[in-house]
């Protein structure tokens, strides 16, 4: 042995690394050195004489796999260590399927489709079947297919399941099962698998080919799984089957950091592992090396409210540290300003780099006021794991409509939106229009306006669709000087069909895109409500859309990444922050129905996942955690009162510094503490009173099928169905903009509309 690397470990880590007598689970708390323990475990296995070829290590990122393999090589100084089978579930399954895929009818060189490939195929199928692409959107189809495959449901089984078929009919997608079947057939015909097929087909292989299963069980005599709390049903079965022969299994994870339920992760995999392995040995790594005592104890006090968890007490020998800070803002716009000011002051006072700071939020849409506030102070930042707000496709699409209304000669904007949402004016048509425009010395817009000159070029249907688009844009142009920027912007978003299109996509990505459009309109409202600078002369009493476009173009121009500049504040969703750490962490938007999300109010399990998400956010901080909430937030252009998140009340008050005169719950004293200049126009606000009594928020006796109702988040809609027992009544509501939703009446607030 080159050197005694085990001396680098603490007592709990070393005990877990040295145990080789059967199945084991390492519960590794936040900042406890999980990656180190897993890496040293692999090194110890090889040092104990196990052939690296017989070790299978499954991780959740390829980057983690590379870093762990490199570290094992450094520890052992042994090139044979590079022969470990290490990678993500998908990469390892792809490697095995290239060897054994012939059993399932696939050649070794099968293609792997990414999401764009899959969506392209689905769009082709929808077109071939003459279905409405606005109903059968590629994103929603792929999301549902992915969900089915994750749960190992074949197209035939799906079509034979009455509940699934009925759900599709209610969603106005009765042909989904046929699309699913054709999609799989086309994949197989093309010798291709999509991302979910890698796990699905691995399960089929292990189920239907006992010789292959036996061979792999013999090959992998020791299996390690990282982030086990985030495994889904398909991954769980793969591990269980491969480990069945030897039961030499080591899983590492933390149930308190299980936050991917929306992707199919099942926390029961880690909570109930002892049911699969009677000889399971449990190890707990509870010492946190990352954070101060204050942060660790505050996080413990919050997560203790969860019922479903493995008992543990995270502790640290680090310094006591300062108390958690609380920022209370009047509006979400002011929240961005206060957070940016706090970052600037802390950085200057302590001479810190920008990389010391991270701002975490629940949804991507929350980045806009933060980005604008950071820009005003010339604080460089980067959006981690996503695009800057103004670079997101849906935002650029709506801005392109705005640009076209303001300047119809803007050909880039015109070409971007003329067939989005799809209106039957495709690329072939537009290519011909461009040629005609050039031949006649006209702009593309002017050519489109002369549909009467295109009789020989296009049929009446195409000319009619072009005419409808021209009329649509002209109708917006007539309102350019008659309506303020917000009112016209909202008209364009609705009239162009963007709101309807995005509201129909119920995938997590689709919901995020819809929220981003909402946030852009919020920015328009703020611009409209801000007085015009004195130097800007304009006879109109309100701020117009062309003024807004001039303003926003300055923001987008500054948004180009400078590759040379790496010292930036990090902005990211909490889901993206998993596994990362920063000296100073700001957690923003801590309000009921935002964090925890309104989508989590339907069950205790979902609410507990939101609490775990907050726990993950808090434990990213090393030195200081700053929490913030706004008393009001713009939602679709209207100010809405917000209640502070329940998670703030769950923090032991010993660990949080409250501003003078503040209380956990807002009251008149707290109102007085908000600077007058930042307070919103109360006449434009709606009071939201969250239901905390456990009683029904809506009186079911006043509701009936066919009745029009209004929901705080989703707006107006019609009740299509009411079902369930009296204590758990559910209403299916078809909302005008948000589409169909199923809501628990004891949590939802449905007000009848007269």
Residue 457's CB: how many other CB atoms inside 10 A?
Answer: 14
Coil/strand/helix, residue 323: coil
The answer to whether the CB of 396 falls within 8 A of the CB of 390 is yes
The DSSP bridge pattern shows strands 708-711 and 715-723 to be antiparallel
Q: DSSP characters for 351-411? A: T--GGGEEEEESSGGGHHHHHHHHHHTT--EEETTS--GGGSHHHHHHHHHHHHHH-TT-H
Question: Can you tell me the distance from the alpha carbon of 156 to that of 153, in angstroms, rounded to the nearest whole number?
Answer: 8
Catalytic entry in 196, 227, 592, 712? 227
Catalytic entry in 14, 18, 35, 186? 35
Q: In what side-by-side order are the strands of the sheet with 632-635?
A: 632-635, 638-641, 685-686
Which mean pLDDT values do the consecutive 10-residue runs of the chain (754 residues) have? Answer: 74 93 93 90 91 91 81 79 85 89 86 80 91 90 92 94 91 93 88 90 96 95 93 93 93 89 84 90 94 96 93 94 94 93 94 96 90 92 75 88 86 88 90 88 89 85 93 94 92 93 84 89 86 64 84 49 67 91 96 90 89 96 96 80 93 82 38 33 37 44 79 78 73 76 76 77
Our measurement of the distance from residue 177's CA atom to the centroid of its chain's CA atoms, rounded to an integer in Å, reads 27
In the prediction, which pLDDT does 11 show? Answer: 93
In the prediction, which pLDDT does 504 show? Answer: 86
Catalytic entry in 194, 197, 226, 230? 226
The DSSP bridge pattern shows strands 708-711 and 750-752 to be antiparallel
The answer to whether the Cα torsion of 478, 483, 489, 491 is positive or negative is negative
Question: Among this protein's residues, is 35 annotated catalytic?
Answer: yes
Longest Cα separation, the chain: 86
Cβ density class 673-687: b for 16+ within 10 Å, e for less = ebeeebbbeeeeeee
Question: Can you tell me the distance from the alpha carbon of 684 to that of 424, in angstroms, rounded to the nearest whole number?
Answer: 40
Question: Among this protein's residues, is 620 annotated catalytic?
Answer: yes
Question: Can you tell me the distance from the alpha carbon of 630 to that of 333, in angstroms, rounded to the nearest whole number?
Answer: 9
Q: Is the peptide bond before 346 cis (omega within 30 degrees of 0)?
A: no
Catalytic entry in 88, 137, 257, 429? 257
In the prediction, which pLDDT does 483 show? Answer: 92
Question: Among this protein's residues, is 490 annotated catalytic?
Answer: no
Question: Among this protein's residues, is 98 annotated catalytic?
Answer: no
- Global confidence as pTM: 0.71
End-to-end CA distance of the chain: 81
Considering only CA atoms, which of 718, 698, 699 is closest in space to residue 707?
718
Question: Among this protein's residues, is 559 annotated catalytic?
Answer: no
Catalytic entry in 362, 382, 416, 620? 620
Enumerate the β-bridge partners of residue 63. none
Catalytic entry in 34, 36, 54, 611? 34
In the prediction, which pLDDT does 662 show? Answer: 37
In the prediction, which pLDDT does 697 show? Answer: 40
C-alpha atoms less than 13 angstroms from C-alpha of 346 in its C-beta half-sphere = 22
Question: Can you tell me the distance from the alpha carbon of 567 to that of 381, in angstroms, rounded to the nearest whole number?
Answer: 8
Question: Can you tell me the distance from the alpha carbon of 290 to that of 53, in angstroms, rounded to the nearest whole number?
Answer: 34
Question: Among this protein's residues, is 227 annotated catalytic?
Answer: yes
């Amino acid at each position: 042995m080159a050197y005694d690397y085990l001396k680098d470990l603490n007592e709990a880590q070393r005990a877990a690394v040295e145990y080789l007598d059967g199945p084991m689970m390492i519960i590794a708390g936040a900042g406890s050195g999980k990656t180190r323990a897993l890496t040293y475990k692999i090194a110890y296995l090889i040092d104990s004489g196990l052939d690296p070829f017989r070790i299978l290590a499954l991780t959740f990122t390829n980057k983690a796999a590379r870093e762990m393999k490199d570290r094992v090589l450094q520890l052992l100084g042994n090139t044979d260590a590079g022969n470990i089978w290490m990678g993500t579930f998908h990469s390892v399954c792809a490697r095995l399927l290239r060897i054994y895929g012939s059993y399932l009818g696939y050649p070794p060189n099968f293609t792997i489709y990414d999401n764009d490939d899959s969506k392209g195929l689905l769009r082709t199928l929808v077109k071939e079947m003459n279905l409405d692409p606005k109903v059968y959107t590629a994103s929603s189809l792929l999301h549902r297919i992915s969900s089915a495959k994750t749960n190992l449901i074949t197209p035939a089984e799906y079509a034979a399941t009455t509940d699934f078929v009925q759900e599709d009919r209610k969603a106005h997608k009765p042909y989904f099962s046929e699309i699913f079947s054709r999609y799989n057939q086309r994949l197989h015909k093309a010798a291709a698998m999509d991302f979910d097929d890698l796990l699905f087909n691995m399960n089929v292989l292990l189920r239907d080919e006992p010789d292959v299963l036996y061979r792999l069980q013999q090959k992998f005599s020791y299996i390690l799984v990282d982030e086990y709390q985030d495994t889904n049903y398909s991954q769980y079965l793969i591990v269980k089957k491969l480990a069945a022969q030897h039961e030499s299994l080591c899983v590492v994870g933390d149930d308190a950091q299980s936050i991917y339920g929306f992707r199919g992760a099942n926390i029961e995999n880690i909570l109930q592992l002892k049911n699969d392995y009677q000889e399971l040995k449990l190890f707990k790594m509870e010492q946190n090396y990352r954070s101060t005592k204050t942060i660790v104890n505050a996080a413990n006090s919050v997560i203790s409210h969860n019922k479903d968890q493995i008992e543990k007490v995270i502790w640290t020998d680090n310094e006591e540290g300062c108390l958690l800070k609380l920022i209370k803002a009047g509006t979400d716009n002011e929240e961005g300003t206060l957070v940016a000011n706090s970052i600037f002051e802390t950085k200057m006072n302590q001479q810190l780099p920008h990389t010391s700071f991270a701002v975490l939020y629940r949804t991507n849409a929350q980045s806009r006021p933060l980005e604008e506030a950071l820009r005003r102070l010339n604080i460089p930042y980067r959006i981690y794991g996503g695009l800057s707000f103004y670079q997101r496709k849906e935002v650029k699409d709506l801005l392109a409509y705005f640009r076209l209304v303001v300047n119809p000669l803007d050909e880039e904007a015109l070409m971007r939106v003329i067939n989005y949402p799809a209106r039957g004016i495709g690329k072939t048509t537009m290519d011909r229009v461009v040629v005609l425009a050039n031949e006649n010395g006209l702009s593309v817009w002017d050519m489109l306006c002369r549909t009467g000159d295109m009789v020989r070029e296009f049929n009446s249907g195409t000319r009619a669709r072009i005419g409808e688009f021209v009329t649509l844009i002209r109708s917006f142009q007539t309102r350019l000087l008659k309506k303020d920027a917000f009112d016209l912007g909202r008209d364009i978003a609705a009239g162009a069909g963007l709101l309807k299109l995005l509201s129909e996509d119920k995938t997590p990505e689709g919901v995020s895109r819809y929220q981003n459009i909402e946030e852009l309109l919020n920015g328009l409202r703020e611009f409209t409500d801000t007085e015009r600078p004195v130097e800007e002369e304009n006879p109109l009493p309100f701020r117009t859309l062309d003024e807004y476009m001039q303003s926003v173009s300055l923001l987008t121009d500054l948004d180009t990444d400078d590759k040379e500049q790496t010292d930036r504040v990090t902005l990211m969703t909490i889901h993206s922050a998993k596994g990362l750490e920063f000296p100073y962490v700001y957690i923003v938007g801590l309000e009921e129905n935002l964090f925890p999300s309104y989508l989590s109010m339907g069950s205790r399990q979902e609410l507990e996942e939101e609490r775990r998400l907050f726990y993950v956010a808090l434990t990213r901080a090393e030195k200081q955690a700053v929490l913030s909430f706004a008393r009001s937030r713009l939602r679709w252009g209207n100010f809405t009162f917000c209640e502070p998140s329940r998670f703030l009340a769950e923090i032991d008050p010993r660990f949080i510094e409250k501003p003078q005169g503040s209380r956990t719950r807002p009251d008149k004293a707290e109102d007085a503490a908000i600077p007058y200049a930042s307070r919103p126009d109360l006449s434009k606000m709606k009071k939201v009173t969250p239901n905390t009594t456990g009683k029904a928020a809506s009186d079911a006796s006043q509701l009936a099928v066919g009745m029009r109702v209004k929901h705080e988040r989703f707006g107006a809609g019609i009740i299509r169905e009411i079902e369930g027992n009296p204590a758990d009544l559910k209403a299916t509501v078809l909302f005008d903009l948000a589409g169909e939703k199923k809501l628990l009446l004891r949590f939802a607030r449905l007000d009848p509309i007269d």
